[in-house]
Amino acid sequence: MADRADRKLDHIRLCTAADVTPVCYPPARTTLLECVELLPEGFPVVSVDDVETSTVFLGYTVAAPIFVSAMTGGPSRAGELNRSLARVCQKMRLPLALGSGRPMLDDETLASSYDVRPEAPDIPVLANIGMAQASMLPVDRLSWLVERTRADALVVHLNFAMEAVQPEGDRDPGPVVETLTRLVGELGHPVVVKEVGGGFTRGQIEAIASTGVDWIDVAGAGGTSWVRIEGLRGSLNDRRMASTFSCWGIPTAAALGWAERSGLSNVLASGGLRSGLDVARSLAMGARLAGMALPVIRAMDSGGEESLERLLGSVIRELRLAVHLCGKRSTAEMADVPTLLLEPLRTWLAD
């Protein structure tokens, strides 16, 4: 069985060097955000440079409704990556979600690779753990994870398809609703629930919402396929399984639509977002913030912190332009922009 630190390094290597998007024939699985047309009811009312993008998240005022989504953590390179991400996020005043904290729970000497508060004292930082581990660990260990990283919330990620394909994966999913209900009642910190590129159905969203969690990140299909990544790490049989299921999941836009129809207000959008226009479309579909991961890690790999600053700056400028063209003054007003949903998204959301 591969060492967990080696596995995390494999994840970084494959995300930066391999094609890790879903491969389906036919058709290719996308986020379906391209099926969300924004329909301005008026004309621009302020200069594009005066569009207000700031918002409040977990008690912090951040510069834009954009966050760096969870990637990986544990080995030394991931620690260096986490600190670099934290420096950029602090400079740009954007939230940062850390990768899974399982390695530091198994080996507390790895905790330093998650220690980003010195670089990010004034932004939201989110700790992270998988559902399989959350269901087995006592609440005090999960509280320690949040407090040791000085995080503002705990993300619990659900990655059943990934675990099933991963050579070292946890096959037992654990009691999802019961575990989340326990954490909400006992953890003492906000709880965020997310997928890892599989999205959620309406029924799953309603089940999660019933537990009282603070935030749901739909983390839909159409971006990075972690099933495919694990297949690339495994045997020929693993690759076959991963190829079959690399398109498994609910497209990001469909999951957002179901979350909105369920009446949820604290919704995060991630899973295949690649531009400020994707962020604008997500906000119009009911998201409060939108996250990116793969473009972030690739920017860091190609040009370090300066490259990531340029990427995030471009995304924010694109978002401002989308808000401007929709005749709004702020990103907060994007929730009021009418949308036209094209096929096949309309079919996904048909009652």
User: Whole-angstrom Cα distance, residue 344 to residue 339?
Assistant: 15
Q: Which residues are paired to 221 by β-bridges? A: 251
The helix/strand/coil state of 195 is strand
User: Whole-angstrom Cα distance, residue 281 to residue 233?
Assistant: 34
Q: Which domains does the chain have, with CATH numbers?
A: 4-24+65-275+289-313 (3.20.20.70)
User: Whole-angstrom Cα distance, residue 55 to residue 246?
Assistant: 35
Question: Can you give the pLDDT of all 351 residues of the chain as single tens digits?
Answer: 456 556 666 666 656 666 666 655 445 689 999 999 999 999 999 999 999 999 999 999 999 999 999 876 555 577 889 999 999 999 999 999 999 999 999 999 889 889 999 999 999 999 999 999 999 999 999 999 999 999 999 999 998 888 888 877 787 888 999 999 999 999 999 999 999 999 999 999 999 999 999 999 999 999 888 888 887 887 888 888 888 888 889 999 999 999 999 999 999 999 999 999 999 999 999 999 999 999 999 999 999 999 999 999 999 999 999 999 999 999 999 999 999 999 999 999 997
Tell me the two tokens of residue 259.
């979350």
Distances (CA, A) of 169 to 135, 166, 189, 216: 15, 5, 27, 24
Query: What is the per-residue pLDDT for 16?
Result: 66
pTM for the whole thing? 0.91
Q: Is 108 exposed, middle or buried (0-12, 13-18, 19+ CB in 10 A)?
A: exposed
Q: Which residues are paired to 216 by β-bridges? A: 193, 267
At position 132, the amino acid (one-letter code) is A
The helix/strand/coil state of 105 is helix
User: Whole-angstrom Cα distance, residue 214 to residue 205?
Assistant: 13
Strand-strand pairing, 339-341 and 289-292: unpaired
Tell me the two tokens of residue 268.
């995060």
User: Whole-angstrom Cα distance, residue 101 to residue 256?
Assistant: 27
